[in-house]
Amino acid sequence: MKKTPFPLLMGALCIAFWPVWIWFAAGSMDASNDYSGLLAAATVLAVLWWAPAAQPIARPLVLPATLLVLYAMATAAGLAPSGGALLAVSALAALASAWRLGRRMDAALLALCMLALPLAASLQFYCGYPLRIVAGSLSAALLRMNGIAVVREGAMLAWDGQLIAIDAPCSGVKMLWAGLYLACALAASYRLPAWRTLAALVMAGAVVVAANAIRAAALFHIEAGLLILPPWAHEATGVACFIAAAMGIYAGVHTLKGST
C-alpha cells in the first residue's frame, strides 16, 4: 500500500476530469463570479501540504473509482457541468484524503473543494432571494420585539407607509460562503472527524443567518430614518456583523474540537 503511486493516480484522475478544468477556468474568469473560490483551492493545497504523516487506508481507490464511473455516466446523460464538477472534486478529495490524511473521505477537505468551485453567481441566483426572505422575517421579529411594528412584504420591510428593501448585496450569500469557508478551514486544521465537521458547518450557517438578520435590523434603523448616521455607517454595520459572526464561528468550532 505504501508503494501505491498516489501522485500518478492523482494526475491520471485530473486528466480524466479535463472538461471540469475548462469549465472551472471559464467560470473563474467570468465577471459574474468572484475569486473567493481560489482562496478555498489554495487552502486545500495548504492542508494537504502540511498534513502530518498518516497511516494508509485499505482499498483507497474504491471511492475515487466509483465517483469517476458516476461522473462518466452522469456526463453521458447530460448532467450540468456544475454537477459533474461536484463529482470530480469529490473523487479528487477522496483520493487526496486517502493519500495524505489517512481517511476514506475527509469532510472538511471535501467541503473546501466544493467551496473552490466558481458557483458564486449560481448561489446568488438560487439562494439570494430565499436568504433575503429569512433575513427579513427574522429582522422583522427582532424589530417588533423592540416595539417597531414592522411587517415583511416579500424581500422588503414595511413600516409607517415605507418599504425598506433588503437588496441582493444584503442577502448574505457572500457572508455565508465566508462563514462556511472559515468553519471548513478550522475543521481541517483541527483534523475534526466527519460528524464534528458537519456540526461545524451547520453551526456556521446558523450563525451567519442570525448575523445577517441582525445586520438587516440594524440597517432598517438607518434606511427608515430612525437614526441619522454618515454614509459609511452602512458598510461599517456589515463589517461589524461579519466580525461578530466570524468570532462566533471560531468559538463554536474550537468548542467542537475540545468536545468528546
In whole angstroms, give the CA distance from residue 8 to residue 76.
26
Backbone angles phi, psi at 165, to 5 degrees: -80, 140
Looking at residue 149, its amino acid is A
Task: Please enumerate in sequence order all residues whose Cβ is within 8 A of that of 168, keeping only pairs 6 or more positions apart, or say none.
Answer: 124, 128, 132
The pTM of this model reads: 0.92
- Paired with 159 in beta bridges are 162
Cell of 216: 438587516
CA angle, corner 23, sides to 79 and 128, nearest 5? Answer: 75
pLDDT for position 225: 83
Domain chopping of the chain, boundaries: 1-118, 121-260
Residue with cell 469517476: 68
Per-residue pLDDT of the chain (260 residues; tens, 9 = 90+): 455 588 899 999 999 999 999 999 999 888 778 888 999 999 999 999 998 878 878 888 999 999 999 999 999 999 999 999 999 999 999 999 999 999 999 999 999 999 999 998 889 889 999 999 999 999 999 999 988 999 999 889 999 888 888 887 778 899 999 999 999 999 999 999 999 999 999 999 999 999 999 999 999 988 888 888 888 888 899 999 999 999 999 999 999 998 64
pLDDT for position 1: 42
The widest CA-to-CA distance across the chain, in whole angstroms, is: 73
